[in-house]
Structure 1
């Protein structure tokens, strides 16, 4: 396997139209994902995906605290946005989007399984207390460069990218393959700026296809 991988972040039903935590235009990322999957497969690049995979009583759910969704609070000593119940293990909402070319995905990595802590990043929980299996898998396959896209820009994509950079990966972000929650209107714009400042290179899909071998 080559030294580059496409990382699809949380392209799940609950983040798309009709989902419990639907992101505006979330479904529009699927065509970009499938185009990138085709591009990567033609070059022998790996394709991996992360999947939010919460127990039904997850501590990040507003319902567990009798508060309104999107309320700000604290969970296990960390600042926490309390979300609508979403991506509950083994539910339709947690499944990858039905139009995503899932058979081309080499490995899927679950996150957010620990009741007591949220996990935006595909690499770590929010307190960096536990790692997912993603980093070990990438290193086992000698992958050192990532193409990242998915949902949502201002949470799971941003923290996945920042962790990947900290872990030493070269990171390319496909901006039109991302959509944000945007609790504040500019959250996604700020997230892209933060990723860029930290060392990620931002591309549109068209730019990527035009400039990369």
Structure 2
């Protein structure tokens, strides 16, 4: 049974001090670093927005391609990542899901490497993590969301809990990092 870890958008702009900081976003980094070695493959996604995009009508400017804000959090052990996916690169879309990457096909990569089980973590629970996890289920992968390795934007109070419930209802397994063997 081959399995992969998908690290969603653990980037400077989503961590404290960033332009779209997720409360406690940096606290996912040590949890993620602690589990990377348990997987056959490690994949990451990064928002990689153009300077002008419809996405910035909804959100503050963040993760502009090539900027410090778009880089991985400096504590993330990025050297362990096998595939880096860039998303949100078109100025006409949001690019929430890692399955919308423009530089590679996540589905093809997982299938070519015989991955059936995909574990999802990162930022933010209520947007990019949720979109990526639900797309993984839709694509036929056994999908697990690592609840102590995610953090939410919570535009509305309780968005994190609603998102977890939605992912569960769509077929994701919710689990803690300590449950990963």
Same fold (TM over 0.5): yes
Q: Deviations over 1:160-201 (max 9, x none)?
A: 011000000000110010000001111010000111111111
Counterpart of 2:106 in structure 1 is 134
Counterpart of 1:59 in structure 2 is 54
Contact conserved, 2:48 with 2:70, CA < 8 A, in 1? yes
Distance 1:83 1:145 in 2: 32
Distance 1:84 1:36 in 2: 31
Contact conserved, 1:9 with 1:148, CA < 8 A, in 2? yes
Contact conserved, 1:111 with 1:132, CA < 8 A, in 2? no
Find out whether 1:94 has 2:70 as its counterpart.
Answer: yes
Gaps of 5+ in 2: none
Alignment match of 1:164 (pick from 136, 147, 155)? 136
Give the alignment's Cα RMSD to 1 decimal: 1.5
Counterpart of 1:196 in structure 2 is 168
Alignment: residue pair count:
181
Contact conserved, 2:85 with 2:103, CA < 8 A, in 1? no
Q: Offset of 1:124 from its aligned partner?
A: 2.5
- Give the match's secondary structure for 2:143: strand
Contact conserved, 1:123 with 1:132, CA < 8 A, in 2? no
TM-score for the superposition, normalised by structure 2: 0.96
Q: Offset of 1:116 from its aligned partner?
A: 0.6
Q: Deviations over 1:33-75 (max 9, x none)?
A: 10111333xxxx100100100000111113xxxxxxxxxxxxx
Q: Provide closer, same or farther for how the CA distance between residues 132 and 118 of structure 1 changes in structure 2, counting only shifts above 3 A.
A: farther
Q: After TM superposition, what 4+ stretches of structure 1 lie above 2 angstroms from structure 2?
A: none
Alignment match of 2:61 (pick from 68, 85, 89)? 85
Q: Offset of 1:132 from its aligned partner?
A: 5.2
- Give the match's secondary structure for 2:61: coil
Distance 2:37 2:105 in 1: 25
Q: Provide closer, same or farther for how the CA distance between residues 199 and 131 of structure 1 changes in structure 2, counting only shifts above 3 A.
A: farther
Distance 2:147 2:79 in 1: 24
Q: Offset of 1:15 from its aligned partner?
A: 0.2
* Residue pairs, 1:29-48, within 5 angstroms: 29-40=28-39, 45-48=40-43
Counterpart of 2:20 in structure 1 is 21
Find out whether 1:180 has 2:152 as its counterpart.
Answer: yes
Q: Provide closer, same or farther for how the CA distance between residues 7 and 85 of structure 1 changes in structure 2, counting only shifts above 3 A.
A: same
Contact conserved, 1:124 with 1:131, CA < 8 A, in 2? no
Q: Provide closer, same or farther for how the CA distance between residues 132 and 186 of structure 1 changes in structure 2, counting only shifts above 3 A.
A: farther
Counterpart of 1:74 in structure 2 is none
Distance 2:43 2:133 in 1: 14
Counterpart of 2:44 in structure 1 is 49
